[in-house]
């Protein structure tokens, strides 16, 4: 027998009792705050402005910087102002959507050049449509493209705390991380 | 909750209510009272509450004053206390050491002794936890299930069953509170930082209701003291460092008294205090409440 | 003393360092408390438990579904029954491509399989690219923590190590400067490797995707730069759906470091054009545990490290005291399944305080399994020293009131006649580390009660 067959046979022989999928188990649990209504902080304020405000706050907490590109402003102007001399070493990519609860943006490999460019960049800028924002990862994972070959949730710049738990940004990937919301 | 009214109920009903109470596992002794009142329409019964005091082996030998204080306190609260419980140990030391066969004999004897009582109070969270959660699984018989149903830790009994979450008393001291881990996370008689809960539970409520008491906050309010039964000798070095750290936390906050509902934690902590010659006073919660309500 | 107690006592000899270690990890626990303080946290833990229980109940089907999708996407899926098979598969992939230098991001599975020494013996250089892992690799040590491998290293020591191995200036101790030097050093390894090995935080059956989480971004440099990516994963990493992934990602980093999510969360289903991607699915004892109903749920572990950080024993005994690739409470219930003889002291390296069970994001009842392993150790005749002679006797004494009272009276008499200096000698583990002898009262409670005419 191949290792594959041995492993699969051993699993089936273990006769693990059936257990319902998580969503079903959750729907019937007497949990105090059902998953269907995540953090009140996110869900009770569904207007875009509140979502963006919360996102920018969380993003700052994870070491990133978020900017909303106003309708009167061109993206190029904003980038030039934001990045200054760093513009030369910056990589600017399109993100699909932002996630409020953790300050992450989803970037799909289909939208960028080399996959490792997001980590090779000294300065990473992710441009996300203003309206593309969801409260939590529950909504976010459903927005991942079904045919995605590779994609990332990026939350702030590269970081490490492996030396005496001192937080250092730019451990191996980007040193700075910006999210720009683009109107329209 | 029941105010100053003298609550005398028959425990034959109460223990059934406790067993069926959905809040019980969450330190919901308070829930028992609510249910009792609903079922009994707020009526009080003139039956005297009969309760057995079960004294764990090491309390009997090393800290009999905690047992005496428990007795005095229960009587002061209107209970008729029987001292006829005639089993020495619930079997926890052997059970937690993995020697399950040796734990069975003691547990069996314990369950037998429990049969004639409708309520058994123990001044120990960890023994209560063992009787409630491990003994029925170990013996799988009606006697052990009965023992599990009718055994209460002292604070949950006073607050939940007697319906006196707070007592009239005075204890003008700075007090650090240490709930044993089995009361904390096994019986859920305290608020756990892991679960993001504030300080709560019957012992905290009883303590904070006393006049003049100043409960000092600890840096690590629910960190284990390091006793852990056989752990205290099997991992003696780690055990003592944990105990010292707990005492340092208590000292940092200027507490004069360290109070616990678990005499086993106190046995260990007190031994470290005595070795180090500190002036900290260690008290069992029964001793403290008894002193405060004189 | 031997096993965990001996190693722990050794760790505690340097009291100052042990206190520093305890405080460092308590800081992690506090970060976890703050990061997980969201209203639905307990509901999320229930969901985490449910999704793992579900995945284990359908594991064979999910693995087949994953294999079918991954294969359709051009991923080569391999199966390894044990560590040896896993190592041979990885070696085979590297050999056939003529690779002599690989980068590897953090993977507890490859530690478990001993992949590094195996490949190095075959002349293949392996560079661990997580900063913490690189530190311990350069020091020729194993990780002492599954999430923070070099948590036991001080910055001065890291400075000295980097000075010796990377040529950083002598006396450099700034974390920024040291991390910057490591960035240059590791980029070279990552970009010039012939293959990149990663672990997997999850395998998603619904998408055929491999999910890898890092903060440094090293896994992405490693998997997207060389022509070959090999992801090594235990079969228990399987989850059913992307919904499950959402729950898992909400729990993982909050439990580990208190972050809302790791800086990089990569979901990869398809190799990039012109490169190859392999997934090695490893059993190595997992199916045996799956068949063990009592211990099964330990397979749900997502390796967040929260139980290590909260464990008062781990914090004060250090990762090496466990002598196993997974340390702390979860290690103490995983290791005995691998080798009960060797790891029989681990289930006893706990006060059963229960904190591990309460921080576990997938609600593994670790304390219950510690107790169950203790009972199995006893049944196998592998109790810690002294237990086998003391506890059966104690059980006999404590099972009858008359025996107990007789023994207590004898002990009280002994206490009065035997010199305290002998009772508190080096042989006595109660007093040895600094505890006064317990004093048996002159009159027990029961004796008092009888005297008062109330006793039994």
Residue C423 lies in a domain: yes
Q: Does B11 touch chain C (CB under 8 A)?
A: no
pLDDT recorded at residue C456: 64
| Pair C410, C360 in one domain | no
> Where residue C247 sits, what CATH number does that domain have?
3.40.50.10420
Residue C355 lies in a domain: yes
Give percent of chain C above pLDDT 70: 100
| Pair C319, C269 in one domain | no
Question: What residue in C sits closest to A15 (Cα-Cα)?
Answer: C291
Mean predicted confidence (pLDDT) in A46-63: 87
Q: Would you call C217 and A161 a contact, using CB atoms and an 8 Å cutoff?
A: no
Question: What residue in A sits closest to C176 (Cα-Cα)?
Answer: A168
In sequence order, which ranges of C192-240 are alpha helices (DSSP H)? Answer: 218-224
pLDDT recorded at residue B39: 40
| Pair C96, C195 in one domain | yes
Domain that holds residue C326: 3-12+297-374
> Which residues of C are less than 8 Å from A4 in CB distance?
79
pLDDT recorded at residue C54: 97
pLDDT of A45 strictly over 60: no
Q: Would you call B181 and C354 a contact, using CB atoms and an 8 Å cutoff?
A: yes
Question: Could you say which residues of chain B have pLDDT below 50?
Answer: 1-47
> Which residues of B are less than 8 Å from C361 in CB distance?
none
pLDDT recorded at residue C453: 87
pLDDT recorded at residue B22: 35
> Which residues of C are less than 8 Å from A166 in CB distance?
155, 175-176
> Which residues of C are less than 8 Å from B237 in CB distance?
5, 8-9, 12, 432-433
CA distances from residue A45 to A141, B81, B205, C416 in whole angstroms, order as listed = 21, 57, 36, 72
Question: What residue in B sits closest to C348 (Cα-Cα)?
Answer: B231
Residue C349 lies in a domain: yes
> Which residues of C are less than 8 Å from B236 in CB distance?
5, 9, 429-430, 432-433
> Which residues of A are less than 8 Å from C257 in CB distance?
161
Cα A106 from Cα A59, distance rounded (Å):
13
Range with lowest mean pLDDT among A67-76, B132-141, C223-232, C394-403: A67-76
Domain-wise residue ranges, chain B: 11-161, 174-292
| Pair C257, C318 in one domain | no
| Pair C317, C212 in one domain | no
pLDDT recorded at residue C444: 96
Which chains have 3+ CB pairs within 8 A of B? C
Q: Which of A1, A32, A164 to mutate to test the interface with C (most CBs of C within 10 A)?
A: A164
Å between B114 CA and nearest CA of chain C: 14
Cα A123 from Cα B241, distance rounded (Å):
47
Q: Would you call C41 and B59 a contact, using CB atoms and an 8 Å cutoff?
A: no
- Domain C-terminal end among C344, C374, C404: C374
pLDDT recorded at residue A87: 84
Residue-wise pLDDT for A139-174, tens only, equals 999 999 999 999 999 999 999 999 999 999 999 999
pLDDT of C302 strictly over 50: yes
C377, C431, C456 member nearest B83 (Cβ): C456
* Phi, psi angle pair for A127, to nearest 5°: -100, 120
Q: Is A120 exposed, middle or buried (0-12, 13-18, 19+ CB in 10 A)?
A: buried
Question: What residue in C sits closest to B195 (Cα-Cα)?
Answer: C358
C54, C85, C155 member nearest A163 (Cβ): C155
| Pair C72, C207 in one domain | yes
**How many domains are contained in chain C?**
3
**What pLDDT band is residue C109 in, cutting at 50, 70 and 90?**
very high
**What pLDDT band is residue C386 in, cutting at 50, 70 and 90?**
confident
- Domain C-terminal end among C229, C260, C284: C284
pLDDT recorded at residue A50: 85
pLDDT recorded at residue A183: 87
Residue-wise pLDDT for C189-216, tens only, equals 999 999 999 999 999 999 999 999 999 9
Residue C89 lies in a domain: yes
pLDDT of C143 strictly over 50: yes
Q: Which of A20, A33, A136, A160 to mutate to test the interface with C (most CBs of C within 10 A)?
A: A160
| Pair C147, C74 in one domain | yes
Q: Which of C20, C315, C352 to mutate to test the interface with B (most CBs of B within 10 A)?
A: C352
Give percent of chain B above pLDDT 70: 83
pLDDT recorded at residue A48: 63
Q: Would you call C436 and B194 a contact, using CB atoms and an 8 Å cutoff?
A: no
> Which residues of C are less than 8 Å from A113 in CB distance?
none
**What pLDDT band is residue C318 in, cutting at 50, 70 and 90?**
very high
HEC string for chain B: CCCCCCCCCCHHHHHHHHHHCCCHHHCCHHHHHHHHHHHHCCCCCCCCEEEEECCCHHHHHHCHHHHHHHHHHHHHCCEEEECCCCCCCCCHHHHHCCCHHHHHHHHHHHHHHHCCCCCEEECCHHHHHHHHHHHHHHHCCHHHHHHHHHEEEHHHHHHHHCCCCCCCCECCCEEEEECCHHHHHHCCCCCCCCCCCCCCCHHHHHHHCCECCEECCCCCCCCCCCCCCCHHHHCHHHHHHHHHHHHHHHHHCCCCEEEECCHHHHHHHHHHHHHHCCCCEEEEHHHHHHHHCC
- Domain C-terminal end among C340, C374, C408: C374
C63, C132, C260 member nearest A102 (Cβ): C260
pLDDT of C63 strictly over 90: yes
Residue C175 lies in a domain: yes
| Pair C55, C157 in one domain | yes
- State the fold for domain B174-292: Rossmann fold (3.40.50)
Q: Which domains, ranges and CATH numbers included, belong to chain A?
A: 36-182 (3.40.50.10420)
pLDDT recorded at residue A47: 57
Å between A133 CA and nearest CA of chain C: 16
**Mean of the per-residue pLDDT values of chain B:** 86
Residue-wise pLDDT for C321-372, tens only, equals 999 999 999 999 999 999 999 999 999 999 999 999 999 999 999 999 999 9
| Pair C401, C364 in one domain | no
> Which residues of A are less than 8 Å from C53 in CB distance?
19, 25
pLDDT of C240 strictly over 50: yes
Question: What residue in B sits closest to C391 (Cα-Cα)?
Answer: B94
**What pLDDT band is residue A89 in, cutting at 50, 70 and 90?**
confident
Residue C26 lies in a domain: no
ipTM value: 0.95
Cα C9 from Cα C2, distance rounded (Å):
10
Q: Which of C3, C7, C399, C423 to mutate to test the interface with B (most CBs of B within 10 A)?
A: C399
Residue-wise pLDDT for A126-136, tens only, equals 999 999 999 99
> Which residues of A are less than 8 Å from C290 in CB distance?
10-11, 14, 16
| Pair C260, C339 in one domain | no
| Pair C215, C95 in one domain | yes
> Which residues of C are less than 8 Å from B234 in CB distance?
5, 348, 384, 386-387, 429
Give percent of chain A above pLDDT 70: 86
Q: Does B87 touch chain C (CB under 8 A)?
A: yes
| Pair C164, C233 in one domain | yes
Mean predicted confidence (pLDDT) in C396-419: 94
Q: Would you call C445 and B96 a contact, using CB atoms and an 8 Å cutoff?
A: no
């Amino acid at each position: 027998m191949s290792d594959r067959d041995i492993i699969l046979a051993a699993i089936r022989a273990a006769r693990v009792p059936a257990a319902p999928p998580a969503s079903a188990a959750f729907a019937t649990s007497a949990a105090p705050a059902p998953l269907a209504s995540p953090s009140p902080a996110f869900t009770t304020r569904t207007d875009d402005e509140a979502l963006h405000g919360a996102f920018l706050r969380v993003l700052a907490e994870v070491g990133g910087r978020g900017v909303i590109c106003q309708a009167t402003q061109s993206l190029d102007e904003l980038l030039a102002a934001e990045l200054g001399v760093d513009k030369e070493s910056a990589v600017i990519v399109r993100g699909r959507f932002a996630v409020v609860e953790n300050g992450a943006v989803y970037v799909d490999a289909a939208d960028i050049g080399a996959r490792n460019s997001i980590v090779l960049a000294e300065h990473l800028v992710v441009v996300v449509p203003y309206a593309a924002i969801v409260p939590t990862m529950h909504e976010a994972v459903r927005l991942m493209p079904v045919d995605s070959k590779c994609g990332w949730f990026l939350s702030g710049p590269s970081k490490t705390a492996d030396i005496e738990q001192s937080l250092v940004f730019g451990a191996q990937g980007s040193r700075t991380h910006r999210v720009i919301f683009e109107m329209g | 909750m029941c105010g100053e009214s003298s609550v005398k109920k028959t425990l034959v009903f109460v223990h059934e209510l406790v067993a069926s109470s959905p809040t019980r596992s969450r330190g919901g002794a308070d829930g028992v009272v609510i249910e009792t009142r609903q079922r009994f329409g707020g009526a009080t019964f003139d039956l005297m509450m009969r309760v057995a005091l079960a004294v764990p082996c090491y309390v009997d030998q090393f800290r009999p004053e905690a047992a005496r204080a428990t007795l005095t306190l229960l009587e002061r609260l209107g209970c008729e206390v029987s001292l006829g419980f005639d089993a020495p140990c619930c079997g926890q030391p052997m059970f937690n050491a993995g020697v399950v066969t040796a734990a069975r004999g003691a547990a069996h004897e314990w369950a037998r002794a429990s049969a004639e009582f409708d309520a058994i109070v123990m001044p120990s969270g960890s023994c209560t936890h063992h009787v409630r959660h491990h003994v029925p699984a170990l013996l799988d018989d009606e006697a052990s299930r009965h023992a599990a149903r009718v055994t209460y830790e002292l604070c949950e009994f006073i607050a939940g069953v007697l319906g006196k979450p707070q007592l009239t008393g005075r204890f003008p001291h700075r007090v650090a509170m240490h709930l044993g881990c089995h009361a904390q996370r096994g019986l859920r008689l305290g608020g756990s930082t892991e679960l993001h809960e504030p300080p709560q539970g019957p012992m905290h409520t009883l303590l904070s209701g006393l006049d003049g008491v100043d409960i000092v906050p600890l840096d690590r309010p629910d960190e284990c003291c390091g006793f852990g039964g056989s752990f205290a000798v099997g991992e003696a070095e780690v055990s003592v460092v944990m105990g010292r750290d707990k005492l340092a936390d208590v000292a940092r906050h200027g507490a004069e008294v360290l109070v616990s509902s678990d005499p086993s934690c106190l046995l260990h902590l007190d031994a470290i205090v005595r070795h180090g010659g500190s002036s900290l006073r260690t008290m069992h919660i029964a001793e403290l409440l008894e002193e405060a309500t004189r | 003393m031997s096993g965990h107690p001996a190693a722990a006592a050794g760790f505690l000899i340097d009291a100052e360092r042990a206190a520093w270690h305890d405080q460092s990890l308590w800081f992690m626990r506090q970060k976890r408390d703050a990061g997980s303080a969201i209203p639905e946290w307990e509901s999320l833990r229930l969901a985490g438990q449910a999704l793992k229980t579900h995945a284990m109940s359908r594991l064979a089907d999910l693995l087949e579904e994953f294999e079918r999708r991954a294969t359709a996407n051009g991923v080569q899926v391999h199966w390894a029954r044990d560590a040896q098979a896993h190592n041979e598969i990885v070696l085979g992939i590297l050999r056939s491509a003529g690779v002599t230098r690989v980068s590897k991001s953090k993977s507890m599975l490859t530690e478990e399989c001993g992949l590094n020494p195996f490949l190095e013996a075959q002349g293949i250089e392996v560079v661990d690219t997580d900063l913490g892992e690189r530190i311990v690799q350069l020091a020729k040590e194993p990780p002492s923590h599954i999430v923070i491998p070099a948590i036991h290293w001080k910055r001065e020591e890291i400075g000295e190590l980097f000075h010796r191995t990377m040529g950083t200036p002598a006396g450099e101790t700034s974390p920024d400067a040291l991390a910057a030097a490591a960035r240059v050093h590791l980029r070279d390894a990552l970009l010039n490797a012939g293959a990149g090995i990663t672990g997997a935080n999850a395998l998603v059956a619904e998408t055929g995707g491999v999910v890898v989480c890092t903060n440094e971004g090293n896994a992405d440099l490693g998997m997207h730069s060389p022509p070959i990516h090999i992801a090594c994963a235990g079969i228990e990493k399987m989850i059913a759906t992307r919904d499950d992934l959402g729950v898992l990602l909400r729990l993982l980093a909050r439990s580990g470091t208190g972050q809302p999510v790791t800086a990089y969360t990569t979901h990869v289903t398809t190799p990039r054009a012109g490169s190859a991607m392999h997934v090695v699915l490893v059993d190595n004892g997992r199916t045996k545990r799956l068949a063990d109903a009592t211990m099964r749920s330990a397979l749900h572990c997502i390796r967040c490290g929260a139980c290590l950080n909260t464990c008062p024993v781990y914090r004060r005994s250090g990762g090496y005291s466990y002598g196993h690739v997974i340390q702390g409470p979860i290690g103490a219930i995983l290791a005995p399944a691998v080798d009960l003889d060797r790891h029989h002291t681990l289930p006893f390296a706990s006060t059963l305080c229960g904190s591990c069970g309460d921080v576990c994001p997938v609600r593994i009842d670790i304390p219950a399994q510690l107790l169950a392993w203790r009972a199995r150790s006893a049944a196998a005749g592998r109790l810690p020293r002294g237990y086998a002679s003391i506890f059966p006797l104690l059980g006999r004494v404590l099972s009858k009131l008359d025996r107990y009272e007789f023994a207590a009276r004898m002990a009280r008499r002994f206490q009065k006649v035997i010199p305290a200096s002998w009772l508190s000698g080096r042989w006595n583990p109660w007093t040895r580390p600094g505890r006064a002898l317990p004093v048996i009262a002159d009159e027990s409670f029961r004796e008092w009660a009888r005297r008062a005419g109330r006793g039994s």
